[in-house]
Amino acid sequence: MERDVIIACDFSSAEATLAFLDKFQGGRKPFVKIGMELFYAAGPDIVRQIKARGHKIFLDLKLHDIPNTVRKAMSVLSGLDVDLVNVHAGGGIAMMEAALEGLTRPDGTRPLLIAVTQLTSTSEEVLHNQLLIGPSINETIVKYAQNAKAAGLDGVVCSPLEAAMVKDACGASFLTVTPGIRFADAATDDQVRITTPAKARQIGSDFIVVGRPITASPDPLASYTRCLQEFAD
Cβ 83 to ligand C5P shortest distance, Å: 16
Residue at shortest CB range from ligand C5P: 211
What is the contact mask toward ligand C5P in residues 51 to 90, using x (rule: CB under 6 A)?
----------------------------------------
The footprint of ligand C5P on residues 188-207 (CB under 6 A) is: 189, 191
CA distance 99 to 132: 26
Cβ 178 to ligand C5P shortest distance, Å: 9
How many other CB atoms are there within 10 angstroms of residue 135's CB atom? Answer: 12
| Catalytic residue from among 23, 29, 51, 62 | 62
CA dihedral 58, 25, 221, 54 (to 10 degrees): 20
Cβ 145 to ligand C5P shortest distance, Å: 14
CA distance 159 to 176: 9
In the chain, how many H helices and how many E strands? 11, 8
What 3-state DSSP class applies to 23?
coil
Say if CB 78 and CB 100 are below 8 A apart: no
Selected from 59, 73, 209, 227, the binder of ligand C5P by CB under 6 A is 209
What are the residues binding ligand C5P (CB under 6 A)? Answer: 8, 10, 35, 119-120, 157, 179-180, 189, 191, 209-213
